[in-house]
Every structure is written in C-alpha cells, then in structure tokens.
C-alpha cells in the first residue's frame, strides 16, 4: 500500500500505519492502515472510545498523527501548511452528531454561509443553495430557524451545508445519533443517494440495523486498531 504508486490519485483516502497518542497518554489509534477508493461508501463502527472520531479529526487535520502518514485525494497531509488547511477542508463535507448549525441563521442562510465562507459568488450561491435544499427535501423549510426543526431536519440542513460546496467526500460522525429511528433511515438513504452521485461517503455510526441492512463496506475498530474490514459487512468484529 505505497502512496507513491501511480494509482494514488484514484484513492480518496489512505492511512499508512497511523498512530495517535494524545498529550494525556491515551493511545486513540494504534498502527491503523486503511485505503478508501474514490466513490466508495464506508461505515466505520466500533465501541465507544475506539478511536473513530479521532480518525476523522486526523483526516481533517484538526489533530496531527503521532506517527504514520495520511493522504487525502493524493495529498500528503503532513506536507500541508497551516494556510492550506481550509482548502483541504473544502474538499470534505463534514456532518456531526450535534448538527452544529448557527441558531441565529435560518436554514437557507446556514447553507449559504458555507458558500460565503469559501468565497463563492452571490450568483452561484443563489443558484446552488435552493438546489441542494431541494435535494435534501428541505425546500419548504428554507425560512425556518434550527430551533423550529426536528433533529432529522436539522441533520438534513447540516448535510445540505456539507454538500453545498461540492466536496469529493462526505464525512459523517454519528449523523443519526440525535435523530429518531425513522429519521435515521432517511438520513442514511440520503447519504446513499449522495454516494450514487459519485461522492465518497464515510460514516461513523452505532446503528447496527442500518449497517446490516445497507450491505456496505464496514471497518470495525476497537481500542484504536482495525479488527476487521469487509465489503458487504455486518456490524461485528468477526472476520
């Protein structure tokens, strides 16, 4: 699994013997090697404290690995300068369990905000935001504020925001954690839709039933190590 090979550009994500030990001595990731191809749909599962969120923080360069190398879209993250980090993040749309919407802005502005922040022209914002909201079944809620929305709706707003800048990859850390079960299915369905449009999707989740039903690639992590990595996998550590 050498990153210097010719095939690098078609590989979305490479973790090469990555370990992460936090300042307090917690070893969150232990010699993790992974390879996620362009256009894949991957579940990352495992018990609480396994290191799943750490993995996502590393690939967003929110944290630095203690050892090992990470490549996103062929780019070596250790070579990235501080001022290039925003451009790395624009390639990824991120969704969190707690939605992280701006309460003072309505749905439309929450999504437009991400385009504003990346220097998009007003015209492209006016064209793109309604389109994405429609895609996420939110057209009717454009004027609503986050406090007026259900958990599932809020997460769809977050998903719209993640999508609006046309990222190469969507990264979702427990996107259904604060959403009722029926809505969880809808969110997963939307992620699946996004993936069908050739966007790579990486989802960290605890939803056993959903994982088992969708028959996607499943990477199981426990105590910072990859215990299993199977296509059409089940939510379990068994190889």
Partner 1 sequence: MRGSNFFYFISQGVKYFRSNKYISFAAVGVLAACLFIMGNFWLIYLNVDLNLQRMEEENLTMLFLDDEVPSDRFAEIRSRIEQIENVAACEFISKEQAFEDYKATYAEEYDLYEDLEAQGINPLPNSFSVTMKDITIYEETIYQLSRIEGVARIRKQNQDTIDGMLSVAKSIYFICYWIMGLLFVASLFIIMNTIKIARFTNRRQINIMKFVGATDWFIRWPFIFEGAIIGLLAAVISHLFVWYTYTNVMVKLGETIRIFEILPFAEVSSQMLLVASVCGLLIGVLGSSISIRRYFDV
Ligand X SMILES: Nc1ncnc2c1ncn2[C@@H]1O[C@H](COP(=O)(O)OP(=O)(O)OP(=O)(O)O)[C@@H](O)[C@H]1O
Q: Which residues bind partner 1 (CB under 8 A)?
A: 60, 62, 83, 86-90, 94, 100, 102, 104, 113-114, 116-119, 121-122, 161, 165
Give phi and psi for 224, each to the nearest 5.
Answer: 80, 5
Q: Contact, 70 vs 18, CB < 8 A?
A: yes
- Note whether 233 binds ligand X by CB under 6 A: no
The least distance separating ligand X from the CB of residue 166, rounded to whole angstroms, comes to: 27
Task: Compose the 33-62 pattern: x for residues touching ligand X by CB under 6 A, - for all others.
Answer: -------------x-xxxxxxx--------
Comparing CB distances to ligand X, the nearer of 51 and 175 is 51
Q: How many residues bind to ligand X according to rule CB under 6 A?
A: 12
Comparing CB distances to partner 1, the nearer of 78 and 209 is 78
**Cα–Cα distance between 183 and 175 in angstroms, integer?**
11
The least distance separating partner 1 from the CB of residue 162, rounded to whole angstroms, comes to: 8
Q: Which residues contact 198 (CB under 8 A, 6 or more apart)?
A: 38, 39
Question: What, of ligand X, Mg ion, partner 1, none, does residue 26 touch, CB below 5 to 8 Å by kind?
Answer: ligand X
Q: Contact, 136 vs 144, CB < 8 A?
A: no
Q: Which two tokens stand for residue 19?
A: 């370990």
Task: Compose the 122-161 pattern: x for residues touching ligand X by CB under 6 A, - for all others.
Answer: ----------------------------------------
Comparing CB distances to ligand X, the nearer of 28 and 36 is 28
- Note whether 22 binds ligand X by CB under 6 A: yes
Comparing CB distances to ligand X, the nearer of 52 and 156 is 52
Give phi and psi for 142, each to the nearest 5.
Answer: -55, -35
Strands 27-37 and 11-21: antiparallel
Comparing CB distances to partner 1, the nearer of 8 and 85 is 85
Give phi and psi for 32, each to the nearest 5.
Answer: -90, 130
Q: Contact, 192 vs 41, CB < 8 A?
A: yes
- Residue 237 DSSP code: S
**Cα–Cα distance between 154 and 148 in angstroms, integer?**
9
Question: What, of ligand X, Mg ion, partner 1, none, does residue 117 touch, CB below 5 to 8 Å by kind?
Answer: partner 1
């Amino acid at each position: 699994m050498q990153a210097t090979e010719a095939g690098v550009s078609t590989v979305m994500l490479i973790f090469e013997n990555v370990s992460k030990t936090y300042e307090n001595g917690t070893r969150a990731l232990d010699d993790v090697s992974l390879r996620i191809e362009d256009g894949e749909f991957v579940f990352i599962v495992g018990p609480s404290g396994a290191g799943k969120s750490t993995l996502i923080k590393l690939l967003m360069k929110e944290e630095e690995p203690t050892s090992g190398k990470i490549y996103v879209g062929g780019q070596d993250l250790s070579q990235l300068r501080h001022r290039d980090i925003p451009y790395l993040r624009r390639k990824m749309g991120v969704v969190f369990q707690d939605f992280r919407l701006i309460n003072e802005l309505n749905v439309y502005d929450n999504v437009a905000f991400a385009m504003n922040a990346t220097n998009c022209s007003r015209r492209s914002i006016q064209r793109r935001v309604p389109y994405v909201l429609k895609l996420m079944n939110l057209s009717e809620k454009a004027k609503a504020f986050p406090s007026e929305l259900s958990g599932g709706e809020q997460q769809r707003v977050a998903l719209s925001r993640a999508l609006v800048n046309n990222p190469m990859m969507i990264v979702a850390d427990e996107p259904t954690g604060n959403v009722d079960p029926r809505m969880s299915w809808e969110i997963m369905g939307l992620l699946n839709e996004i993936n069908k449009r050739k966007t790579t999707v990486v989802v960290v989740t605890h939803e056993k039933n959903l994982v088992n039903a969708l028959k996607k690639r499943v990477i199981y992590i426990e105590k910072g190590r990859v215990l299993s990595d199977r296509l059409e996998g089940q939510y379990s550590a068994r190889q």
